[in-house]
Structure 1
């Protein structure tokens, strides 16, 4: 069982944070490489990448249900049922990968050409997705493996796999985008291919780890591998709200950036700079989000409800401190960070101003995300879906008002971040205060 001490919490969260940090560095490096290629590639990769991540986050919702379910069974000491949930989850994610691949590679390019303001950016997005979408088969398989590791609190290997993927991605990005290291010069398509090959490398690494580690073999995860309908019903009953939630969360940001694209390439380039810097803040926030879900689910399973408020406070303190470490540059030296990503001085001034103005909202998000992930970790995924739907509904309505009705400039539009993060926190707190969430999230 997990312990409530700061060091115990950090032991679970730190590998996830470092893994997220390395992945954020990869994203920043990708954008920096492409910014030095041309602005069309820079903008196309940013928007196409959001589309890919949106579909990935839908699957991640199902992966979260695998994590929550297995953590609950571990808390109850009912580990014998874990293999059939794991095996059913793996097969389900592979089916999702096939469906999402067909949508992104065959359907989405045509839709982008019909909708986008810039045909050049739309065509480039289609070319990027045609290659990048193939990675789904490997990234979703890795997601299934990592859900087990996070449920057990053994997150160190997640960190190692992140380091491996990032290293491979950066090296291949440099080689395939610019034609260095004896590799062909492929430009934007080279960035997509580098990501695919990095995902393949990580999946192979994780698979061998699972097959060779004795403590994992003792769970019999791969014995009599089969699909179990009851396990699917349980996973889906918990996971479908999380899947829809992931679609809403990233889909909302995708819509927001598509509206920005309608305002012209200059505003889109500024917003892509802000998005890239944001991923530094997501390092501790996402790391502690996964940690919160594991703690809450295990503690409810072990009937340690009274210790949950203590865990919440300690995670909030830790996420605030680590945000100061990872995100302080957005406040103190944003011009340096942004110029590393995009050397275009035309967009530097507005990018610096916006990131300094919205940086405090990120700290609000760090605190409110603990409450939101408490709801998800308790198994009340319908409630977490409702909270996300309300928050993103307010967010999109505000963004539409700012962009199309009031016609604010790009600086004013980005204040919408305060509205989203505050709404998420308020609605989560209302639910935790007035609903019996420790009883309604039971997993059978």
Structure 2
């Protein structure tokens, strides 16, 4: 196996990037449509989306452990073990989806009124989550297919799958939010139904593609629902840490949005607009970070740990080179960018300064996210959790001081991302340079 070059990095990261770009278009479509409905709906969609994302991250965190194991087996050439890992993960995800669906339907009506000050925003958020919670079943299965294809480095399928999701979501959003094609106008509830239905189409596409285009015998996928408790224990040994890390991370971000909501409906709408623009940059970070995790795990499986640090540096540089022009455009023309999401001139003017702050912080976030995923790719998922928890403690303190105690403007509120990223980058680099992770077995 030759040294991994930039072409190999792009071969893995490119399709992931395109798939994430298309997936993000689902959120952007929701925002673009709801931005024409009202500020209450725009803010409620932000809170509902982050709530859903926090619970979704439990399943995603589990899939990260599955992905690491599949990538390690793929690097070692043990392809026949991949099917047992995949199907054991599927069974666990279905059970987890049932649990979180029930808890979400039970707890949302109890918790939301205690956390959200505005009755209008609270009611709209509850309406969104009533229908969005059905998406847990579909999205938990979808991330398992994603873990499989990323683990075996056949990431091109992610792009095609995301196209299916975006097309389904765009058509259903238009129909259900505004009442077109004979459907009733459901507003924010229509956006939730459209997103969940798009995820159902995603799972169906994955199933059909896998059945028709994958060598089922090679990966032992021909025996559906082959379950192995020993394999599940092995997966959970990795995944329990990534599950906790992912859930805690987004849960704290939900706290950030709740804190901003206490500043008023306008600041919440501003932060949601900036969040959607930052998510465009985040997809680049996520794509290269996911590629880093998979390639690092494959390198270690092939007994090439000496190349890990160099690979991390190259991926970080490539990501910065690609994203910097977009960030420069955002910083120079913030009102033009915001105009894509809303026609409200006052809201655009209020959000422009915060958008510039976001653009200035993003390079640090990109580098931090990539090196953090290098740590996860080594199999040190418990260490990754400790890094995340320590980082989030710093983040919580900064949110409390800047947003709740000082009640500063939205630009200062977004500056809390700087402290989060700086601590994460420093801790990740310290671990990779000082700890003994090279011979770690999973």
User: Do the aligned partners of 1:350 and 1:411 also contact (CA within 8 Å) in 2?
Assistant: no
User: Would the aligned equivalents of 2:81 and 2:220 in 1 still touch at CA under 8 Å?
Assistant: no
Q: Partner of 2:26 in structure 1?
A: 26
Measured in 1, the distance between the counterparts of 2:365 and 2:397 equals: 19
Give the drift of 1:341.
Answer: 0.7
Question: Where does residue 179 of structure 2 map in the other structure?
Answer: 179
User: For the residues of structure 2 that align with 1:2 and 1:341, how far apart are their CA atoms?
Assistant: 45
* Structure 2 match to 1:198: 198
Q: Give 1:26-45 correspondences, 5 Å limit.
A: 26-45=26-45
SS state at 2:438 partner: helix
CA distance in 1, matches of 2:292, 2:424: 16
1:290 corresponds to which residue? 290
Paired with 2:200 and 2:424, the residues of 1 have a C-alpha distance of 35
Q: TM-score, normalised by structure 2?
A: 0.97
State the secondary structure of the residue aligned to 1:215: coil
Q: Which range moved further: 214-223 or 181-190? A: 214-223
Shift of 1:115: 2.4
> How far apart, CA to CA, are the structure 1 residues paired with 2:323 and 2:430?
25
Distance 1:244 1:24 in 2: 24
Is the aligned partner of 1:229 residue 2:234? no
Report the equivalent of 1:77.
Answer: 77
Q: Is the 8 A contact 1:280 1:327 kept in 2?
A: no
**For residues 232 and 164 of structure 2, what CA distance do their matches in structure 1 show?**
31
The 2-side partners of 1:69 and 1:325 are apart by 36
When structure 1 is superposed on structure 2, of 24-33 and 294-303 the one drifting more is 24-33
Structure 2 residue runs without a partner (length 5+):
none
Aligned to 1:300: 300
* 2:311 corresponds to: 311
Q: State the SS of the aligned residue for 2:340.
A: helix
Q: In 1, distance between residues paired with 2:209 and 2:18?
A: 20
Partner deviation per Cα, 1:64-112 (whole Å, 9 max, x = no partner): 1010001111111122222211111000001111111112223212210
Whole-angstrom distance in 2 between the partners of 1:6 and 1:273: 34
Offset at residue 408 of structure 1 (A): 2.0
* Equivalent residue number for residue 250 of structure 1: 250
Displacement after TM superposition at 1:50 (Å): 0.5
Q: How many residues align?
A: 442
Q: In the aligned structure 1, how far is the partner of 2:404 from the partner of 2:214?
A: 58
- Is 1:425 the counterpart of 2:438? The answer is no
The residue number in structure 1 matching 2:140 is 140
Distance 2:263 2:222 in 1: 51
How big is the shift at 1:42?
1.0
- Contact 2:330 2:356 survives alignment (8 Å): yes
Which position in structure 2 is the counterpart of 1:342? 342
* 1:406 CA displacement: 2.6
Pick which of 295-304 and 182-191 moved more.
182-191
SS of the equivalent of 1:233 reads helix
> Which is worse superposed, 8-17 or 113-122?
113-122
Match of 1:377 in 2: 377
User: Secondary structure, in 3 states, of the residue corresponding to 2:345?
Assistant: coil
| Structure 1 gaps, min length 5 | none
- Cα deviations by residue, 1:304-330 (Å, 9 ceiling, x for unpaired): 011112211221121112212544432
Give the Cα–Cα distance (whole angstroms) in 2 for the partners of residues 9 and 3 of structure 1. Answer: 11
Aligned twin of 2:406: 406
CA RMSD of aligned residues (A): 1.5
Following the alignment from structure 1 to structure 2, what is the Cα–Cα distance between the partners of residues 381 and 2? 27
Identify the range of structure 1 (265-274 vs 217-226) with the bigger mean alpha-carbon deviation. Answer: 217-226
CA distance in 2, matches of 1:32, 1:63: 30
Q: What secondary structure is seen at the aligned counterpart in 1 of 2:320?
A: helix
Structure 1 segments of 4+ aligned residues over 3 angstroms from their partners: 325-329
Aligned twin of 1:239:
239
**Structure-1-length-normalised TM-score:** 0.96
**Structure-2 separation of matches of 1:139 and 1:302:** 31
Q: How far off is 1:33 after superposition?
A: 0.5
Q: 1:343 to 1:2 in 2, by over 3 A?
A: farther
2: distance between equivalents of 1:177 and 1:162? Answer: 21
C-alpha separation in 1, matches of 2:190 and 2:2? 43
Give how far 1:266 is off.
Answer: 1.3
**What is the CA distance between 1:252 and its match in structure 2?**
1.1
Q: Quick check: 2:391–2:423 contact (8 Å CA) kept in 1?
A: yes
| Deviation at residue 135 of structure 1 after TM alignment | 1.1
**Within 2, Cα distance between the matches of 1:316 and 1:159?**
22
The correspondence of residues 21-170 of structure 1 with structure 2, limited to 5 A, is 21-170=21-170
Deviation at 1:378, TM superposition (A): 0.5
Q: Is the 8 A contact 1:399 1:413 kept in 2?
A: yes
State the shift of 1:429 in Å: 0.9
CA contact under 8 A between 2:82 and 2:219: conserved in structure 1? yes
